[in-house]
Amino acid sequence: MINDLIYLDNIIQRALEEDIGTGDVTTDSIIDLHATGKAVLLAKENMILAGLPLFSMVFTLLDPELLFEYIYQDGATVRAGETICRISGRLAPILKAERTALNFVQRMSGIATLTNDYIERAGRGKVKILDTRKTVPGLRALDKYAVRMGGGFNHRIGLFDGILIKDNHIAAAGSITKAVALAKANSPHTLKVEVEVETLFGVQEALESGADIILLDNMTIDAMKQAVKVINGKALVEVSGGVTLGNIPEIAEIGVDFISVGALTHSAKAVDLSLEIVKQDKV
Amino acid sequence: MINDLIYLDNIIQRALEEDIGTGDVTTDSIIDLHATGKAVLLAKENMILAGLPLFSMVFTLLDPELLFEYIYQDGATVRAGETICRISGRLAPILKAERTALNFVQRMSGIATLTNDYIERAGRGKVKILDTRKTVPGLRALDKYAVRMGGGFNHRIGLFDGILIKDNHIAAAGSITKAVALAKANSPHTLKVEVEVETLFGVQEALESGADIILLDNMTIDAMKQAVKVINGKALVEVSGGVTLGNIPEIAEIGVDFISVGALTHSAKAVDLSLEIVKQDKV
Amino acid sequence: MINDLIYLDNIIQRALEEDIGTGDVTTDSIIDLHATGKAVLLAKENMILAGLPLFSMVFTLLDPELLFEYIYQDGATVRAGETICRISGRLAPILKAERTALNFVQRMSGIATLTNDYIERAGRGKVKILDTRKTVPGLRALDKYAVRMGGGFNHRIGLFDGILIKDNHIAAAGSITKAVALAKANSPHTLKVEVEVETLFGVQEALESGADIILLDNMTIDAMKQAVKVINGKALVEVSGGVTLGNIPEIAEIGVDFISVGALTHSAKAVDLSLEIVKQDKV
Amino acid sequence: MINDLIYLDNIIQRALEEDIGTGDVTTDSIIDLHATGKAVLLAKENMILAGLPLFSMVFTLLDPELLFEYIYQDGATVRAGETICRISGRLAPILKAERTALNFVQRMSGIATLTNDYIERAGRGKVKILDTRKTVPGLRALDKYAVRMGGGFNHRIGLFDGILIKDNHIAAAGSITKAVALAKANSPHTLKVEVEVETLFGVQEALESGADIILLDNMTIDAMKQAVKVINGKALVEVSGGVTLGNIPEIAEIGVDFISVGALTHSAKAVDLSLEIVKQDKV
Amino acid sequence: MINDLIYLDNIIQRALEEDIGTGDVTTDSIIDLHATGKAVLLAKENMILAGLPLFSMVFTLLDPELLFEYIYQDGATVRAGETICRISGRLAPILKAERTALNFVQRMSGIATLTNDYIERAGRGKVKILDTRKTVPGLRALDKYAVRMGGGFNHRIGLFDGILIKDNHIAAAGSITKAVALAKANSPHTLKVEVEVETLFGVQEALESGADIILLDNMTIDAMKQAVKVINGKALVEVSGGVTLGNIPEIAEIGVDFISVGALTHSAKAVDLSLEIVKQDKV
Amino acid sequence: MINDLIYLDNIIQRALEEDIGTGDVTTDSIIDLHATGKAVLLAKENMILAGLPLFSMVFTLLDPELLFEYIYQDGATVRAGETICRISGRLAPILKAERTALNFVQRMSGIATLTNDYIERAGRGKVKILDTRKTVPGLRALDKYAVRMGGGFNHRIGLFDGILIKDNHIAAAGSITKAVALAKANSPHTLKVEVEVETLFGVQEALESGADIILLDNMTIDAMKQAVKVINGKALVEVSGGVTLGNIPEIAEIGVDFISVGALTHSAKAVDLSLEIVKQDKV
């Protein structure tokens, strides 16, 4: 699915140009152009893998003749010490592309692993863990793909494929009711209308205005419970704001449909991965 | 300095296109095109600020007539609750650009703040804290700028502006001595030669081969101390691998020239910032 | 709104490069670089105007110092013989950009005018006239904007902002019920689910499967009437297929919510517009 | 020949990105990634085919492994109901690319078919039917190729490969004679000089000034007949302005060399084509 | 005229990125961001100036607030020691853009100066000196503009705006006569037909086939004289091949219309120009 | 190595678009699309070959099925009259790409050949001949590669991979000592510091300030000799300014490490190469 993205090539090419620039002066000085070998991608900690197709595309862009053998695929749980894939072919492109390829897969696996942590903590109920638009500029498609690989679901991809009415829109329109009416009149009929509210009054008005989804923002557990009662299945319910690994179990029990977590993409740590040359052939 | 980068416009344009795509269906439906107002950028936690010029450029690309008033500049320490800057002008472009602008400045300030933490912990000695090439693909210039705003220094920008001989280069050449000789013969004379070693034998050979910089990788504190004695000022000394906020004070005391830390850029958390509309004018 | 599109500049630049290429050999040979004058854009037939901002942007890209005076704006009804706007400044860029600028506004006004014709014929009921994805490759944003200027509404912009389950999706899933269930489970929760059906059985199944919108494709008037009765307000209803200026009054009377018409964008004729130089200043 | 165009890939890629954007939410939710099948491109009305290479390139860009079987080629006359080509391979890319691919070939075949209509009406004389620069911005090469497939000929491609002196050039130069002299002095010697005239006086002056081609603009049939007599083979003769399917037989009989028709490209209707999935393989 | 070229910005941006890349490490380390000063562009040898607009555009792209004062303009004869223009503003962008700006104007002035040398040697007759397509890849528009500044004329800009039938085309067609007939039948009627011949037989056949221009390739002076007699004004005559500053006076006397010289663009030497900082303001 | 450059494709594509534009009107009119043949690349003078990979890439971009047989490779000495490579396949793409392909290889071989001339004249000592940043805008990577093929070495590639302190930097800093200190404090530790001096006082100060490389600019032979004595191996020594084929033997004897020569790239003449069709197959 991620391979379908027409502009992935551009993202990878820019990343390679950024790192290699006018040439890898170390490798070009020392490594014989014809020298070949074999490398392995190793997990140095437990993780959910994400980004392996990009990892391979980086190397392939430099040398289409490199060969890959995959032991794991995106979405898999990999344990520390395990081999993820093997690469064989010319050494020079392997060394040149190494850092760029790792930068992709380490970040994406970090997001997938953190997403999985949130899901584990949220337990086995119906609630879906969603990402947000708090992604790294230019790499949103990759960040959101990594969330899916970790078991999460995607909220709207951008401002174009979902209506989310926030406080400023409400203030500008005059009321929730007026904002929802404007959104329904002026936007494509294929989109639902979601309204972000912070009080039970807001919940009530959103419901009456015909909102399809109600987003409870930064509410207390008690307020959220009341909101769910009031809504009573007449709209989908999403929770956001201040969600942590610590409080997500309690939130998940309330019975909402979605919990969205900005940290999945804006504060994930890179997982520890290592590319090791295991064999250098004689030239 | 960051404003000098010719391709910043492209980075910002891609980020905006990624988020706005075919249009902000919410804002376009609800907000009057001519409505104006005022917004403030607020710090929700203590931080070192970085990325404010990009923050402004995002808004300006959508509407060149927005006005900015800056209370803080990049590199400043900002306390939770303080206002960083004010924007006034048309509401619609402010709302459309908000998330993209925040994504830049939250990540960059996160890097600057983490860098500052490492520097504080390393103490007031001569050692310089360096970043690495473990940056987000496509945004290296921003990541490295943020490190500088946090008080750190940049290692080489890419593979093109610094020679760093690692284990695979050494294995391919046959020895440290041969690798250094090849690098000196074949690369531009404006570049120094740095060699990464893991043992005292390596330190010794690197020194004798004429390396300008010796990188001690993943050594024990004791081994690093011995290495510094052996080198004795005849080459610059850098430490990397396994550096944490916990062990950096001890490493900093050894008396090396540089400590490089991948986490500065690959595992910084976004700082908490908020853009709030403080006034909506009547249309 | 159209001016918000970040990539409009690219579209205009490509259009100008396509026409001017390596230079306007006629104008460059004959017209003095410093000669100035005044031109008017004239309607040669009745029309709904659309594309005037692009018209101006074409000239401005070549010469930012040209001055424009607008008598009409997009969306206005203009009668044959009326002046739409006046341009004054250097003659050479006016002559070079003329054809490209006209090509934009003639096509877009053609679409707006045809859209208006369909709306007039559909009468003053609640039904909204929608466009489709049958637009000129690369210019969809312009085509869809022109439809809005003509009084129409936009269906989904692309494959990314609306779910529309067609016969092939149904065949692949096994049934309407299964297809709708898959769509609900796997797509962002901000999107409604629309199902295209050709029979009353299909209408029934789509309704029971929880479709938000039902698209009646190529049905007879009678079948459509029955469908509307069956649906009875429990889903939105759209009609498409074989809609012409001839049969739209009858369809509009049935009481559906939307009628989508491919011809608006794939078969509109350019309106007749003319740019005339009304004054050439002495150099 | 159309395949030679180096920038075709860019045109197709932009068109696909415009439609697919961040993903086909319907197909991605419902269609198994590995499902395969077979589709046919069917003519739903009589037409001259144009654009089949682009049609295939759209699909191939998404999935290079799709297989094509061609029954007809560009330039062929296809009857309603006939199959034009067959595609087999993975279903998902076929469904995603369908609309974009059809948008190209429906427009181009529309132009070819309309061109052919004009030619048929003009009869079997020596006169060549030409297009103009009134093409869709950004797709001129495709529009002009489609005209050739319909049996027409191309006028100059842009402002760079032909000199055409119009009224504004003449006014600026002071007279036809001066304008022609300037063009001959200042433009590449590989280009002929064409002058647009509206009166017999103009014809006379253009002829005496050494124009290679004389364009009779919006003249009456009688005036055109006299012009042809006056010119008497000493220059090529082109007619333009107000040419319709109705009056072209009469114009064609006058004995001019070329008739140029803007409607070929600015007002052609899309032909009716349909892509039907004829077989879905079990996964 | 050169400023009209829409893609000049791209050329300049690429050139600047190529030189500055990730930053001017020298200037960024040493020069205060706010330091200002004044620089002059000096001629170090006699020359015909060309490329001054590009020179300025390079600086302006980095810092739009730099001020320029021009003493000479493109096409002027400048003597060694003379000042061409003055720049004032921030020092850092002046130093960063210096080399790139000089690279443009030194090459272009080199071409203009060499062109002027050929024209001087060819004397004051009617013959026009033409360039060829032997230009630096990607910079043809600049090379050809420089030729015009030196007093020369442009041959066709590319393969698209002039028909030039060479030996391989003739061989493929079977004869000059057949090749000319094919060209006349299949190419836009706005282009003349030029034929390259190497013998008097060729001249004769080209003339009879209706060629508009005959190119005498690598002929002896005597053969060229005979050719001119045979042609006798019935076609334009161009000479090419082996033209040098040494033999051009003799060729010019023959009475041909054009002499084309590849060396103008493929072998011009850069002129000697220097940018000197004449004043550094206190910060 | 040159093939590694990720952006070579863009350079070649732009060059081809520049020449072919909207089509090769001559070849398209005359040459049968299916006609095949064989061509040879011939040296018309003695040369060092450089750019053959680009030569092939130009043809391959137009027609990936063309076949190449190489007799020589880049860096080889080729004599007048010798065949360099053979191409076989479709004639049309060979004819269309010919001029663009030749423009690359003729310029690059010109640079390699001139570089070789300088090296021959400098004799067999230790001195290395360097290029400068005086390259054609946009083609620096090609120019610098050609220098290496001619036996020369590359100075820094741009402003980003080498520190070179010139007079303006010194004036701004206040002294050589201050400028070197600033450079050492503020730039990446992987770069050496080079200082350009014009006097022996400058040499002395540069040496004492810890400069890694001293560049003697425009000095007399005698001054250079004294400088080498003063420096005495404590820094690398480079000479530049006014170096010609005439005076390089004398400079080379002084015992400096590097001589840099701007003329290698800014004033090389194209070598004479010819592509000849040796066989045209019957269609």
Nearest beta carbon to residue E17 from set B1, B6, B161: B6
Verify whether the Cβ–Cβ distance E213 to D190 is below 8 Å.
yes
At F282 the pLDDT is: 67
Distances (CA, A) of C104 to A273, C23, C59, C108, C149: 53, 20, 12, 6, 14
Q: Residues of B at the E interface (Cβ-Cβ below 8 Å)?
A: 1, 4-7, 141, 157-158, 160-161
Question: For D256-282, how does the pLDDT look when each residue is reduced to its tens digit (9 = 90+)?
Answer: 999 999 999 999 999 999 999 988 886
Contact F190/B191, CB-based, under 8 Å?
Answer: yes
Which residue in B147, B130, B135 sits closest to B50, CA to CA? B147
d(CA F213, CA F196): 9
What lies within 8 Å, CB to CB, of E174 at 6+ separation is none
**pLDDT tens profile F142-178:** 999 999 999 999 999 999 999 999 998 999 899 999 9
Residue F126's pLDDT band, with cuts at 50, 70 and 90, is confident
> Which among F24, F131, F205, F217 is annotated as catalytic?
F217
Region B116-133 average pLDDT: 94
E247 HSE (CA, 13 A, CB side): 15
pLDDT for the residue numbered A198? 96
C-alpha to C-alpha distance for D242 and D146, rounded to whole angstroms: 22
For residue B6, pLDDT beyond 80:
no
> What is the tens place of the pLDDT at every residue in F20-65?
999 999 999 999 989 999 999 999 999 999 999 999 999 999 999 9
How many other CB atoms are there within 10 angstroms of residue E53's CB atom? 18
Decide if B189 and F192 are in contact by the 8 Å CB cutoff: yes
Residue C17 has its nearest CB partner, among E6, E157, E158, at E6
Our CA-based measurement puts residue E191 at a distance from the nearest CA of chain C, in whole angstroms, of 13
Query: Which residue did the predictor score with more confidence, A83 or B8?
Result: A83
Contacts of B172 (CB under 8 A, 6+ apart): A30, A31, A32, A35, A91, A280, B179
The residue in chain C having the minimum alpha-carbon distance to the alpha carbon of residue D27 is C169
Structure tokens belonging to residue B62: 């959508």
Q: Taking Cα atoms as reference points, which of C64, C97, F10, C50 lies closest to residue D137?
A: C97
| C96-128 pLDDT, tens digit each | 999 999 999 999 999 999 999 999 999 978 899
Chain A residues within 8 A (CB-CB) of chain D? 1, 4-7, 141, 157-158, 160-161
What does the pLDDT read at residue E125?
83
Give the class (CATH, top level) of C5-118+269-280.
Answer: alpha beta
Domain boundaries, chain F: 5-118+269-280, 123-266
Strand pairing report for C83-90 and C67-70:
antiparallel
What are the start-end ranges of the E strands in C177-265?
193-197, 213-217, 236-240, 258-260
Judging contacts by C-beta atoms under 8 Å, the chain C residues touching residue F20 are none
Sign of CA dihedral B120, B158, B102, A146: negative
For the stretch F219-267, pLDDT in tens is 999 999 999 999 999 999 999 998 999 999 999 999 999 999 999 999 9
Per annotation, catalytic residue among E74, E194, E196, E205: E196
pLDDT the model gives residue B279 = 85
Residues 6+ apart with CB under 8 A from B178: none
The beta-carbon neighbor of D190 closest among E189, E194, E257 is: E194
Per the CB < 8 A criterion, the answer to whether A87 and A60 are in contact is no
pLDDT of residue E3: 58
Q: Is E1 close to C93, i.e. CB distance below 8 A?
A: no
The per-residue pLDDT for E160 is: 95
CA-to-CA distance for E63 and E96, rounded, in angstroms? 10
pLDDT over 60 (residue B25):
yes
Q: What is the pLDDT of residues E104-126, one digit of tens each?
A: 999 999 999 999 999 999 997 88
Chain F nearest-CA distance from D82, in A, is: 28
The confidence score (pLDDT) of residue E283 equals: 62
Just give the CATH number of B123-266. 3.20.20.70
C-alpha B149/C-alpha A17 separation (Å) is 25
Which positions in chain C touch E1 (Cβ < 8 Å)? 23, 28, 33
Q: State the maximum Cα–Cα separation within chain F, in Å, rounded to a whole number.
A: 76
Bridge partners, A153 (sequence order) = A130
Put simply, the answer to whether B192 touches F190 (Cβ < 8 Å) is yes
Q: Please say whether the dihedral angle defined by the alpha carbons of residues A74, A75, A76 and A82, taken in this order, is positive or negative.
A: positive
In tens, the pLDDT along C166-181 reads 998 999 899 999 999 9
| Tens digits of residue pLDDT in C17-68 | 999 999 999 999 999 989 999 999 999 999 999 999 999 999 999 999 999 9
With residue B86 as reference, give the H or E element that holds it: strand B83-90
Q: What is the dihedral of CA E76, E80, E84, E87, to 10 degrees?
A: 160
Q: What confidence category does residue B172 fall into, taking pLDDT thresholds of 50, 70 and 90?
A: confident
Q: Which of F157, F189, F236 sits opposite B189 (nearest CB)?
A: F236
Chain D positions in Cβ-Cβ contact with residue B21 (cut-off 8 Å)? 21-22
Give the dihedral of Cα atoms A169, A173, A176, A182; nearest 10 deg: -90
Nearest to D253 by CA among D211, D212, D216, D222: D222
**Is the Cβ–Cβ distance between C192 and D26 less than 8 Å?**
no
Q: Which chains touch B (3 or more CB pairs under 8 A)?
A: A, C, D, E, F
Q: Which residues of A touch C257 (CB under 8 A)?
A: 189
Residue bearing tokens 């009547």: B282
**Is the pLDDT confidence value at E183 over 80?**
yes
Q: Tell me how far apart the alpha carbons of residues A168 and A4 are, in angstroms, rounded to a whole number.
A: 36
Options E86, E121, E134, E184, the catalytic residue? E134
Instruction: Work out the angle at residue A37's Cα, subtended by the Cα atoms of residues A34 and A39, and round it to the nearest 5 degrees.
Output: 140
Answer yes or no: are the C-beta atoms of E18 and F138 closer than 8 Å: yes
pLDDT score recorded for residue C4: 63
Residue F23: its chain D contacts at CB < 8 A?
A: 1, 4-5, 157
Query: F121 is written with which tokens?
Result: 């004249």
Q: Is E269's pLDDT higher than 60?
A: yes
Does the pLDDT value for residue D5 go beyond 80? no
Token digits of residue C21: 């290429």
Smallest Cβ–Cβ distance between B106 and the set A19, A167, A266 belongs to A266
Q: In this structure, are residues C150 and C116 in contact, taking their beta carbons and an 8 Å threshold?
A: yes
CB contact under 8 A, E161 and D160: yes
What is the mean pLDDT of the segment spanning C235-254? Answer: 96
DSSP string, chain D: -GGG-TTHHHHHHHHHHHHHTT--HHHHHHS-TT-EEEEEEEESS-EE---HHHHHHHHHHH-TT-EEEES--TT-EE-TT-EEEEEEEEHHHHHHHHHHHHHHHHHHHHHHHHHHHHHHHH-SSSPEEE--S---TT-HHHHHHHHHHTT-B---SSTTS-EEE-HHHHHHHSSHHHHHHHHHHHS-TTB-EEEEESSHHHHHHHHHTT-SEEEEES--HHHHHHHHHHHTTSSEEEEESS--TTTHHHHHHT--SEEE-THHHHSPPPP-EEEEEEEE---
Rg (CA), chain B: 23
Distance CA D83, CA A185 (A): 43
pLDDT at A4: 63
Please return the burial class of F167, using the count of CB atoms within 10 Å of its CB with bins 0-12, 13-18 and 19+: middle
Pair of tokens at residue B238: 């850098």
Helix (H) or strand (E) holding A78: strand A77-78
- E270 three-state secondary structure: coil
Percent of chain F having pLDDT more than 90?
Answer: 90
Among D6, D9, D144, the residue to mutate for chain F (most F Cβ within 10 A): D6
Query: What pairs with residue E125 in β-bridges?
Result: none
Please determine, for residue B1, whether its predicted confidence score (pLDDT) is greater than 60: no
**How far is CA F118 from each of CA A263, B118, E265, F134, F246, rounded to the nearest angstrom?**
61, 52, 23, 17, 9
Backbone angles phi, psi at C163, to 5 degrees: -100, 125
Facing residue for A155 by CB, picked from C164, C188, C213: C188
pLDDT at F141: 95
Whole-angstrom distance, CA of residue C191 vs CA of residue C173:
19
Contact F1 A17 (CB under 8 A): no
**Residue C206's Cα: distance from chain center in Å?**
29
Tell me the per-residue pLDDT of E39-56, one tens digit each, with 9 for 90 and over.
999 999 999 999 999 999
Query: Mean pLDDT across the stretch D78-83?
Result: 98
If one compares D5 and B220, the residue with the highest pLDDT of the two is B220
Query: How many Cβ pairs within 8 Å bridge chains A and B?
Result: 214
Of the candidates D111, D158, D127, the residue with the CA atom closest to the CA atom of residue D238:
D127
pLDDT value at position B99? 97
Q: Which of B25, B103, B195, B267 to mutate to test the interface with A (most CBs of A within 10 A)?
A: B25
What is the per-residue DSSP string for E11-73? HHHHHHHHHHTT--HHHHHHS-TT-EEEEEEEESS-EE---HHHHHHHHHHH-TT-EEEES--
Are D255 and D275 in contact, with CB atoms under 8 Å apart? no
pLDDT digits (tens, 9 = 90+) for C62-97: 999 999 999 999 999 999 999 999 999 999 999 999
Q: What pLDDT shows up at residue E4?
A: 63
The answer to whether residues A113 and A150 touch, using CB atoms and an 8 Å cutoff, is yes
Find, in chain C, the residue whose alpha carbon is nearest to that of B25: C161
Find residue D153's DSSP bridge partners.
D130
Q: Compute mean pLDDT per 10 residues along chain A, 283 residues long, and list them.
A: 71 94 94 94 98 96 96 98 97 96 98 98 92 97 96 96 95 94 94 97 97 96 97 97 95 96 96 92 71
Question: Which residue type does B97 have?
Answer: A
Identify all chain F residues contacting A23, using CB atoms and an 8 Å cutoff.
Answer: 1, 4-5, 157
Contacts of E157 in chain C (CB under 8 A): 22-23
How close does chain F come to C21, measured CA to CA in Å? 8
Q: Which of A196, A205, A238, A257 is catalytic?
A: A196
The residues of D carrying an active-site annotation are 99, 134, 166, 196, 217
Phi-psi region of A210 (alpha: psi -120 to 50; beta: other; left: phi over 0): left
Best CA proximity match to D228, nearest among D192, D247, D253, D208: D253
Name the average pLDDT for chain D.
95
Residues of chain F with Cβ-Cβ distance to A22 below 8 Å are 141, 157-158, 161
Nearest CA distance, D156 vs chain E (angstrom): 6
Residue B115 has pLDDT above 70, yes or no: yes
- Cβ pair F103:E161 closer than 8 A: no
Q: What's the pTM value of the predicted model, to 2 decimals? A: 0.94
Q: Which residue of the set E86, E99, E121, E192 is catalytic?
A: E99
Confidence of residue F9 (pLDDT cuts 50, 70, 90): confident
